[in-house]
Amino acid sequence: MQIERASPQDAEKLTQIAFAAKRHWSYPEEWMESWRDALTLKPESITSHETHVALIEDAVVGFYALEARNGRPELSHFWVLPEFMGRGVGRALFCHAVKRARTLGFQEFEIESDPNAEGFYQRLGARRIGTRLYSIGQDKRQLPVLIYRISEGSFESVTPATRML
């Protein structure tokens, strides 16, 4: 596996990955449609944010994006194709994101997590600091908000064998 900087030309593929990963949790199609803007990557977003892809045999299988929102660094996208979940891709991407955040001078970053992914982030050292409530039509949805403090992380000992570009 390789991890490298995404290019603006990757926008359509990254959008497909985001939708596939979100659909993995069997959300209703009307919810998926309501998330269209949030799940769609634009070339200019890839250029302006730290966006990196995981490649296996030259195929993009996951990605993440770090950005500053409201003056705070945030892991704004983090998606892995369902067929590659549980195979170390997410851990490798998260380790890479931590290293990039450290290089950029961040002390921490926030993660607004899908409820199904919260355990993954907690296993990697993120801690819940709150929730955000959203409405989708008549439905209410509570999303966990986590913080990952870089100084508390210990990824040096668990860094996967990847070629970081």
Q: What is the pLDDT of residue 133?
A: 93
Residue 163 has pLDDT above 50, yes or no: no
Class of the 2-164 domain?
alpha beta
Q: How far is Cα 163 from Cα 56, in angstroms, rounded to an integer? A: 11
Beta strands in 33-160 (DSSP E): 50-56, 59-69, 72-80, 108-112, 127-136, 139-149
Can you give the pTM of this predicted structure? 0.88
**What are the residue ranges spanned by the domains of the chain?**
2-164
Band the pLDDT of 35: cuts 50, 70, 90: very high
Residue 61 near residue 12, CB atoms below 8 Å:
no
